[in-house]
Amino acid sequence: MASTAQAVTLPKYAQVAVPVHLSKTFTYRLPASMQRDVRLGSRVVVPLGRKPVTAYVVALLPALREGTSLIESEIKEVEQLLDRDPPLTPQVLEVTRWVADYYLAPWGEVMRAALPTGINASVEEVVSITAEGQAQRSAVRSQSNVKTRALNLLAAAGDLDLKTFCLRIGVSRTPKWLRELEADGLVERVHRARSTVTRARKRKMVRLKLHSKDGAEHQSLTRAQHAVIETLRAHQEEMAVGDLIESAGISESPMRTLSKKGMVEIFEEDVRRDPLADAKLPAPDDFQLTPAQGQALDAIEQPLTEGGFAAFLLHGITGSGKTEVYIRSMRTALAQGRGAMMLVPEIALTPILSRRLRANFGDQVAIFHSSLSKGERFDEWARARRGEAQIVIGTRSAVFAPVENLGLVIVDEEHDTSYRQQESPFYNARDTALIRGQKENAVVVLGSATPSLESFHNAQTGKYQYLHLANRIANRPLASAELIDMRDVFAQAKRPATFSDQLLTAIQQTHARGEQAIILLNRRGYSSFILCRSCGESITCPNCDVTLTYHRSDRTIVCHYCNHRQIAPSVCPVCDSKYIYYVGEGTEQIEEEIRKRFPSLRIARIDRDAASRRHAFEKALLDFGKGELDMLVGTQMLAKGHDFPNVTLVGVVSVDAGLALPDFRAAERTFQLITQVAGRAGRGARGGRVLIQTYHPGHYALRLAATQDYPAFYNEEIRHRRNHGYPPFVALASMLVHHRELRRAQSIALSLRKALNEANSNRACRVLGPAPAPLARLRGEHRLHFLIKSRSRRSVRQLIDTALNAGEFSDTDLRSVNVEIDPVSMM
Ligand code: ADP
Ligand code: ZN
Ligand code: ZN
């Protein structure tokens, strides 16, 4: 009965999205053999153009849609169904669809980003010999030409993927004669999904089946067989085969004999590659919450137990106990039988935090760390998919984690730019988390010591409920931040110095007391700008309120938003001083200079390059935590999320370079950086000092960060945003054109400008550009960009959509154009 009912509704067609730079979906016919097993979210192999590709099923259709332009006879068939159990749950599929839609990103690419890398199968071409080929081979055995060699090879080796085949025959690319062999029906070429997809790892186990101490059974056993049984008894009757061999000092054969006798059982078990398998875990804390923590927790628990969507901004300085509130809310979610998810910035997922969470939640938490091996990541993901882990902690892409019955989403350090993916698909995990919460009726908590202007604005307008932890735990004092005026240092020394005497003395004293220091360099200078050493002013664009960038080649200063250009001045336009100075050279030499001045200090450097070496980075942090290093020198990633009680000095060496980035968020980023960094010092009982070197001590971002006055900073900054028309008052998008040839980049940019103008005939948006991007050349490509602003978010997306689909672009490769909705970095 069930089968006839199903036969009526079985899908005949599948609509799929492909993980390439194409935003449309494609329709394929489902062979009868797949109709029963295919599911929404399943991966399939389909022919696309001349090549088969992996694709994701986004809709199943019993018949072609009415009014479709598809022609039945031209629809191709799905070649292969890769999963019966689709890796994308319906909820996650829905979120990917929203992301694709909102960020104008190809749906298939979003789905690929949503899955752990190991699971994205690729397709390979396989060569094999046919029955006819076999027959032919015997007939012409004596001839020794290359075709015969090829047939012999295939007969001996079985199927070979095309690359291996070419390698074994000794040709560099597919030879013409192979096509001839194929045409003659002697060999076959097919495409299939590559089989090296990451899978669970298996381990051989042995288990005792004989439970009585029956002596009669024992009589007939050899000494080695006895040893097997005794060892198993000593180990809860079950062990890994390898372990048993080792501890009983035997070979595998007595085990096999016992297995044949039915006295033991040998079986396979999934091995979990646990990144924290050997870690020592701290005991879970169980202290009384402070009143402020208690209030925050109550507020979060209310919608959590009622089961509806709610959004909170948890604003609390570092050390105010936010993480503890997250942990308790997650416990509540679990107690409600619901899952939870916690997103953290790329670098804040320290070994320390991971251990704290493991200590609290044990195996219930799956950790998606960007530096896990593929296998480890797959295992953690699979534990969530199977429902074994109800909590997922991870960086950006964890927002797509298959958490079942999601009740709570936490986004820690919500202002952090690493939530934004800087390659296609360009999505923001924080904003995606809010959408996911809405769709799944979950509570979303955004936490930060320095909320993004957008989020604080949303709290002010009532879109988010505002929760505040105003004090540090145990009222530990905040480190005081002191601004060191480098104009004075310059006036005294009469020459530029990297370090002020104050900072050098402080480093020395800190070391003498046996305490630790962190020295923060600014991000590597992307571009130069002009700064006056006498008055500290830099030069900004009259239209856009961003710093003008210096171009050495033609001695001009340029606005990277609106393309305003002027000749670089030779004296300061503010104070007439001639000590104009071009900042932005690299900062590598700063570490060297410290090493030279303090040869006895044990120093480690942490920056993006070092961070890519996972173990070196983790080791430096752990060693520093254990007190085996005296100083960490690094870029802004050092500012985040670590808790080192013995750090009593933080020095910021070149804060001005960050302040002058041609980005309207430069002041906000600098404020965040300094506030975060001040939170690093004085975590312990000893308190701490923060020294900031600057030529611009009067700048509001520095002044207000030094006193940790977030509300005052917000008020000043929001005024700039309103006056100059930046988010949160307008919706913003950027379009980046990039190409190896400058000419080509320019011509694409020009036709894009034309298309944007046409699409914008109603003037719903403001279009700026093309202007050279602040990183005008990157990885061998020339880069030009546009900014699009409007009060209406919809108009921005519509404008871009219309422009990109205009006729001019029919011959443009859209891979040269990146579209970013709500960009967070303007570089
Ligand atoms: P944040 O996430 O805001 O930086 P944490 O939750 O990590 O703050 O708390 C800072 C420190 O204070 C941690 O060592 C934590 O164990 C401790 N802590 C948190 N809440 C309490 C509390 N109510 N009583 C005592 N110690 C606490
Ligand atoms: Zn000046
Ligand atoms: Zn400008």
State pLDDT tens for residues 55-93: 999 999 998 877 777 777 889 999 888 887 888 899 999
Using a 10 angstrom Cβ sphere, with 0-12 exposed, 13-18 middle and 19 or more buried, the burial of residue 127 is buried
Q: Which atom of ligand 1 is nearest to the CA of 473?
A: 12
On the question of pLDDT at 757 being above 60, the answer is yes
Which residues make up the environment of ion ligand 2, defined by Cβ < 5 Å? 532, 534-535, 572, 574-575, 577
Residue carrying the six token digits 């254990």: 626
Half-sphere exposure (CA, 13 Å, Cβ side) for 661? 22
How many other β-carbons are positioned within 10 Å of the β-carbon of residue 293? Answer: 21
Ligand 1 atom nearest 293 alpha carbon: 23
Taking residues 372-384, report their average pLDDT: 82
CA of 584 to the centre of ligand 2 (A): 18
Mean pLDDT of 127-131: 88
Distance (Å, rounded) from C-alpha 224 to C-alpha 248? 8
Cβ 133 vs Cβ 178: under 8 Å = no
Q: How far apart are CA 701 and CA 262, in angstroms?
A: 76
| Category of 242 on φ-ψ map: left (φ > 0), alpha (ψ -120 to 50) or beta | alpha
pLDDT band of residue 275 (cuts 50, 70, 90) is: low
By alpha-carbon position, which residue is closest to atom 24 of ligand 1?
287
Closest residue by Cα to residue 764 from 773, 756, 754: 756
* SS3 per residue for 206-239: EEECCCCCCHHHHHCCCHHHHHHHHHHHHCCCEE
Residue with tokens 């942090």: 621
* CA 552 to ligand 2 centroid distance, Å: 20
More confident residue, 640 or 767: 767
Please enumerate, as own/partner, the contacts of 748-754 that have beta carbons within 8 Å and a separation of 24 or more. 748/812, 748/816, 748/817, 749/784, 749/786, 751/808, 751/809, 751/812, 752/786, 752/803, 752/808, 752/809, 752/817, 753/786, 754/808
Helix (H, G, I), strand (E, B) or coil at 128: strand
Q: Strands of 781-790's sheet, edge to edge?
A: 766-778, 781-790, 731-739, 817-821
> With 90 as the cut, is the pLDDT of residue 147 above it?
no
Kindly state the percentage of the chain with pLDDT values over 70.
86
Query: How many angstroms does the Cα of residue 500 sit away from the middle of ligand 3?
Result: 34
Q: Which of 314, 317, 320, 323 to mutate to test the pocket of ligand 1 (most atoms within 8 A of CB)?
A: 323
531 CA distance to ligand 2 middle (Å): 8
Q: Report how far residue 643's alpha carbon sits from residue 267's, in angstroms, rounded to the nearest whole number.
A: 45
Q: Over the stretch 328-354, which tens digit does the pLDDT of each residue have?
A: 999 999 999 999 999 998 765 666 788
Per the CB < 8 A criterion, the answer to whether 426 and 734 are in contact is: no
Give the chain's length: 827
Q: Is the pLDDT of residue 296 over 80?
A: yes
Model's pTM, two decimal places?
0.79
- Specify the pLDDT at position 262: 86
- In this structure, are residues 535 and 572 in contact, taking their beta carbons and an 8 Å threshold? yes
Label the pairing between strands 123-129 and 565-567. Answer: unpaired
What is the Cα–Cα distance from 654 to 524, expressed in whole angstroms? 10
- Mean pLDDT taken over the chain: 84
Measured from the alpha carbon of residue 447, the closest ligand is 1
Q: Residues with Cβ within 6 A of ligand 1? A: 285, 287-290, 293, 316, 318-324, 473
Given a cut of 60, whether residue 784 has pLDDT beyond it is yes
Lowest mean pLDDT among 165-179, 199-213, 426-440, 639-653: 199-213
| The residue type at 716 | E
| 554-573 mean pLDDT | 84
Residue nearest to atom 23 of ligand 1 (CA): 289
CA 539 to ligand 2 centroid distance, Å: 10
Confidence of residue 509 (pLDDT cuts 50, 70, 90): very high
Dist. CA 309–CA 402, nearest whole Å: 19
d(CA 239, CA 245): 10
Q: Minimum-distance ligand to the CA of 566?
A: 3
Query: Mean per-residue pLDDT for 486-502?
Result: 84
Taking a C-beta distance cutoff of 8 angstroms, is the pair 678, 547 a contact? no
Cα–Cα distance measured from residue 185 to residue 131, given in angstroms and rounded to the nearest whole number: 9
The whole-angstrom separation of Cα 510 and Cα 631 is: 10
| Atom number in ligand 1 closest to CA 287 | 24
Q: What is the distance in A from the centroid of ligand 2 to the CA of 699?
A: 14
Place of tokens 């590659």: 273
- Take atom 17 of ligand 1 and give the residue whose Cα is closest: 321
**Cα 80 to ligand 3 centre (Å):** 53
Dump pLDDT digits (tens) for 728-738.
999 999 999 99
Residue 365's DSSP bridge partners are 391
For the stretch 607-648, pLDDT in tens is 655 445 566 777 888 889 889 999 988 876 676 656 677 888
Residue 210 Cα to chain centre, angstroms: 51
Give whichever of 178-182, 394-398, 431-435, 640-644 has the largest mean pLDDT.
431-435
